[in-house]
Amino acid sequence: MTSPRKYRQKKITMDDLSITGKRVLVRVDFSVPLDEEGHVREFTRIKTAMPTIHNILDYDGAAVLMSHFGRPDGKRVKKYSLKPVADELQRLLGKKVKFAPDCIGSKIEEMTRALKAGEVLLLENVRFHPGEYIDDPQFAAELARMGDVFVNDAFGAAHRKQASIHAITQYFPGCAAAGRLMMRELRVLGRTLNNAQRPFIGVVGGAKILDKIETIRRLLPRVDKMLIGGGMAYTFIKAIGGNIGSSLFEKDKLHFAEKILKGPHADKIVLPIDSIVAMDLEYGSERKTFPSGDIPDDWRGLDLGRESRALYVKEIKSATTVFWNGPMGYFEREPFASGTRVVARALIDLTSNGGTAVVGGGDTMAALYKFNMTGPMTHMSTGGGSLLEFIDGKPLPGVRALSDSVEVE
């Protein structure tokens, strides 16, 4: 088995900062999904920033929060305004959250300097400025004027070399620190992915292999088994000659699936035995169960079948550590949610018995919130690309740029 690569960095944390009476400029990751009416519909990234915000307020600091939101490509785009996030943050905090119409400029700086101890201000989307994307030191310098000390709590964006994450730290010598969420992500993921208690099982799902290629490639050498579900499973089944009917598969990724299934870790791969299938996604449509490699034409695999669910639960029960990224089926529709739900329940049971269950990925967390099954998990990571970089043992630019002090593994 390939030994995992590790990196160690000595970085200061919030505990090393003097916060009282200071404007604490915090890089958070508030790029959350909105519903059709423009309201926040999934709150994980806001909630996970709460420990850092509360820490600042408890020590009589003022919290100045900045974040990206969506992909406005350096232009002011109304639908990517953080104003709805400010409203939701205010509800969750139970106190007034002020909102700045921009993230730089003399008027915005005046707003930050007028803040009193215990107050919170959210700046407008940093990606409304092209300087953010190119790690522009001049733009970073303007952002830096909004705080006296800097805290990076945006693990989900820590793999990006952008101004509000990377270049900004040079303007806070000795006082650019990791926030509470950042430290928890680094410590928990370090223990789980680099020093996992075995047996260590990976569970990977989702609609497309394209979205999970790097997860599979980087995680497979580290796990003892990998359970594959969701729409992506059918590309693997097709690659071994199975009949998948009209199930989703990626023709241009068949070579990747074939390579994995013929590679040195092929014996670790576990594919669904049977599938719940339907001709369409309409409510009330007829559902049947077929072997996953023998699905009739016009029928589409949409969830794990009964035998597959039993097998996956058995494998998870045998594990000490499980890392899960991606749902097992089309969980958004209740008739096809059982596979994802039983995996979630198996992970809850694992943690209840002293095991470790780490969950990553937006769709996975959305499923857990839908099922109201979030609390018992050991850790729910906010990382996407940063999580993949961490799995590969690569230093994250947003972490590397922080001030040196405490060892992080």
Q: Are 88 and 45 in contact (CB under 8 A)?
A: no
Phi, psi of 341 (to 5 degrees): -65, -40
Q: How far apart are CA 408 and CA 386, in angstroms?
A: 16
More confident of the two residues 245 and 5: 245
| Confidence category of residue 320, pLDDT binned at 50, 70, 90 | very high
Sign of CA dihedral 30, 36, 39, 45: negative
User: Looking at residue 361, what is its pLDDT?
Assistant: 80
Chain centroid to CA 194: 18
| Confidence category of residue 6, pLDDT binned at 50, 70, 90 | very low
User: Looking at residue 9, what is its pLDDT?
Assistant: 53
CA distances to 25, 40, 49, 118, 221 from 151, in Å: 6, 24, 11, 16, 34
Q: Are 322 and 287 in contact (CB under 8 A)?
A: no
- pLDDT, average across residues 112-140: 98
User: Looking at residue 279, what is its pLDDT?
Assistant: 93
User: Looking at residue 41, what is its pLDDT?
Assistant: 78
CATH entry 3.40.50.2300 includes domain 190-391: no
User: Looking at residue 294, what is its pLDDT?
Assistant: 97
Question: Residue 366 carries which side chain, given as an amino acid letter?
Answer: A
> What b/e sequence results for 193-219 when a residue is b if at least 16 CB atoms lie within 10 Å of its CB, and e otherwise?
bbebeebbbbbbbbbbbebbbebbbbb
The per-residue pLDDT for range 332-362, each reduced to its tens digit, is 999 999 999 999 999 999 999 999 999 988 7
Classify residue 116 by burial, with Cβ atoms within 10 Å: 0-12, 13-18, 19+.
Answer: exposed
- pLDDT, average across residues 27-47: 85
User: Looking at residue 284, what is its pLDDT?
Assistant: 76
User: Looking at residue 91, what is its pLDDT?
Assistant: 94
Nearest to 205 by CA among 353, 341, 41: 341
Positions marked catalytic: 45, 208, 362, 385
Q: Are 246 and 298 in contact (CB under 8 A)?
A: yes
- pLDDT, average across residues 235-259: 94
- pLDDT, average across residues 264-274: 96
User: Looking at residue 395, what is its pLDDT?
Assistant: 84
Homologous superfamily (CATH) for 9-181:
Phosphoglycerate kinase, N-terminal domain (3.40.50.1260)
The per-residue pLDDT for range 91-102, each reduced to its tens digit, is 999 999 999 999
User: Looking at residue 211, what is its pLDDT?
Assistant: 76
What three-state secondary structure class fits 296? Answer: coil
Whole-number percent of the chain with pLDDT over 70: 97
- pTM (2 d.p.): 0.81
Domain positions in the chain are: 9-181, 190-391
Contacts 24+ apart (CB under 8 A), 53-57: 53/26, 53/93, 53/120, 55/14, 55/19, 55/180, 56/19, 56/24, 56/26, 56/151, 57/118, 57/120
User: Looking at residue 263, what is its pLDDT?
Assistant: 94
The per-residue pLDDT for range 79-93, each reduced to its tens digit, is 999 999 999 999 999
Average pLDDT, the chain: 91
Question: Residue 100 carries which side chain, given as an amino acid letter?
Answer: A
User: Looking at residue 3, what is its pLDDT?
Assistant: 41
Give the position of tokens 């769709």.
363
The per-residue pLDDT for range 7-24, each reduced to its tens digit, is 455 789 999 999 999 999
Chain centroid to CA 201: 19
CA distances to 71, 78, 125, 152, 401 from 133, in Å: 10, 19, 12, 17, 17
With residue 368 as reference, give the H or E element that holds it.
helix 362-371
First-to-last alpha carbon distance for the chain, in angstroms, is: 21
Residue 5, pLDDT > 60, answer: no
- pLDDT, average across residues 50-55: 97
Residue 231, pLDDT > 80, answer: yes
Q: Do domains 9-181 and 190-391 have the same CATH topology?
A: yes
Whole-number percent of the chain with pLDDT over 90: 74
Residue 409, pLDDT > 80, answer: no
What three-state secondary structure class fits 99? Answer: strand
